[in-house]
Every structure is written in structure tokens, then in C-alpha cells.
Amino acid sequence: MQEQSIAWGATGSGKSLFDVTNNVGPRPTIYLRFTDLSLLPADANIYDYGQYNAVSSIIFRDSQIRGGTLSIGTYFLQAAPTVGLTNNLALRATITLSCDVGGSQVSLPSYLHNNLFRFGSATFNNATSKGTFEIKDNLFDTVTLSGNAGNQGYTNSYNGYYNTTQLPGATHSVTLTAADYKIGPLGGYYYPTNGASGGLTNLINAGSTTADLVGLYHFTTSIGLTKETNSSVEIGYHVVATDANGNPIDTNGDGIPDYLQDANGNGVVDSGEINWKSAGDLGLKVWITEPKNNSNLP
């Protein structure tokens, strides 16, 4: 939330959402979840690293990146961050991740899973013998897409493409001839239950793993509003599963949605989590013992 007004200035004036300089001490992290970034297309940097070793990681999850530029390279960096983009909508954004030849040739570990890149541009380069690039289960819809796998290459599989040239070395790709999105309770990017023959239904259960393993157990892509649970994950961007009124599913009826109680989204009640399946688990345990000698009571 922007608390105060800000003068964006003229085109190309170097505007940044995060401007991080860190000379000493532990490197901070940038972690955004359920965040809507609405920026001017190609006219505002999301992250300006301003210093060689500014942050240790940049994680965007379950968010919307509308406009703006996210560009991270390693040519002059001494310690590059880990970049994680999981289950985001990137709409008319410019995203460039580049592990370049030169400098200290540090790695730029990058993990991109279950995103929808629509319009805008995306560039993924790994020109060194270092670095891990993992690009899986994303949908690229009418994107100017380019990449250089270099010596190390990158894992580039189980992605969907509509009106977009595939990344080099792509495997298990799904090529669409229609992008028949449906409008639902949480936006306009739901998949139909019975759509065009070359449309989005081809992405259902077509991913590289199961939904619970990527934290999407309580999410959905379907206009039918059914949870993914532990089925083969759908390729592309998911939203929290809701009822027809847009209320997040609350299985145990305790007023706390399932996706919040199951913090890591794997569908299992792990240590420290409230049981989203049981209304009797309020997340608070109290033990009362009776003193053996009541005279010890204050």
C-alpha cells in the first residue's frame, strides 16, 4: 500500500519500487505474497539493486505483477540473489533474468513455476557454466520470449505456449491455438471445464508434478472452482479456491480459510498448523493440572 503520493517524474527518470543498498551485515530478502503490483509498463523498475550484494533472495508468490520491469543480471554482481517466481500473473511486464559472462561469474539461481506471462516480454539467459534456471509449468501467452541456455542450460519443460515462440530446448511443451479464459470470482484467468479443442483445458493435469508439492493444494484454475488437491498440477497461474460467492473454501467452518490454516499448501496438517479439516482444532492447547496440595495455591 502506497501511504503517500509520489511524483513518478518523466519517462526514463529511474523510478524504482524497491531501491536497496546494503554495504554491511546480513543481506535482506524481498518476499511478496498475495501482492498486486500495478506499475507503468516498461517505465518503473520493480527492484533496483544499487549495490553488488544488496539482497539474498527475491521471492514473488501468488501475486500480480502488472506492468513494470524486473531485471536482474550478474555481470557486475559479487553475490547474486536467488530468484523465485511461483504462481504469479505477469501482465504487460518486462522480466529479464540473466546469468552473464564476465565479472565474477556468480550464479543466479532462478526458479519459475506456475506463472502466467501475458503480453510484455521475458528473457532468461544462462550464458555461464554456473547457475540453476528452472522454468516449469508456466503459461506464456502472447509474450516476446527469448533465452540463451548457454553451457549450463536450464530446465525448461512442461510449459504452455500461446502465440509465443518456445524457449530453446523446450520439452513436454503444450502449444495452444486458443486462450479461452473465463471470468470467475477472483479474476479473468480461469480455465473452462469444457473449452475449445486447442484451448486452456489442454493445460489441466499437464504439469511436471502434483499440486500439493508446489503449495497449490487449496488453489484452482477451474471455472468449476474445484481445488487442485494432490492431482497433477495444471500449467499456469492459480487462484485460491472459493465458493460461487468468492469466499475462500473453509472446510471446517471455523472462519479461517483452508489455505491460511495449511500454511505451506501441501494438504497435510503439519506440526504447528491448525487442522483445516477439523472444526475441533482451534490451534490452542491448554493443559490444566490439579495441584496435589491446595495450600500451595496463592
- Checking DSSP bridges between strand 139-141 and strand 160-162, what pairing results, if any? parallel
Q: What is the pLDDT of residues 121-164, one digit of tens each?
A: 999 988 776 668 899 999 999 999 998 876 666 789 999 999 99
Judge contact between 235 and 253, C-beta under 8 A. no
Nearest Cα residue to 205 out of 238, 231, 241, 173? 231
Q: How far apart are CA 146 and CA 124, in angstroms?
A: 7
Write down the pLDDT at residue 297. Answer: 37
The dihedral of CA 32, 191, 156, 128: what is its sign?
negative
Residues 6+ apart with CB under 8 A from 176: 160, 161, 162, 198, 199, 200, 202, 203
Neighbouring-strand partners of residue 113: 86, 136
Q: How far apart are CA 257 and CA 274, in angstroms?
A: 11
Question: Is the confidence at residue 286, as pLDDT, over 70?
Answer: no
Q: Model's pTM, two decimal places?
A: 0.87
- Checking DSSP bridges between strand 182-184 and strand 187-190, what pairing results, if any? antiparallel
Judge contact between 221 and 237, C-beta under 8 A. yes
Judge contact between 47 and 58, C-beta under 8 A. yes
Lowest mean pLDDT among 1-5, 193-197, 227-231, 290-294: 290-294
Q: How far apart are CA 72 and CA 62, in angstroms?
A: 20
Mean pLDDT confidence for 189-194: 96
Q: What is the pLDDT of residues 210-227, one digit of tens each?
A: 999 999 999 999 999 999
Judge contact between 85 and 60, C-beta under 8 A. yes
Residues 6+ apart with CB under 8 A from 155: 133, 134, 135, 136
Write down the pLDDT at residue 219. Answer: 98
Mean pLDDT confidence for 229-246: 96
Write down the pLDDT at residue 79. Answer: 67
Q: How far apart are CA 108 and CA 129, in angstroms?
A: 11
Neighbouring-strand partners of residue 66: 38, 91
Name the E strands within 166-224: 174-176, 182-184, 187-190, 219-220
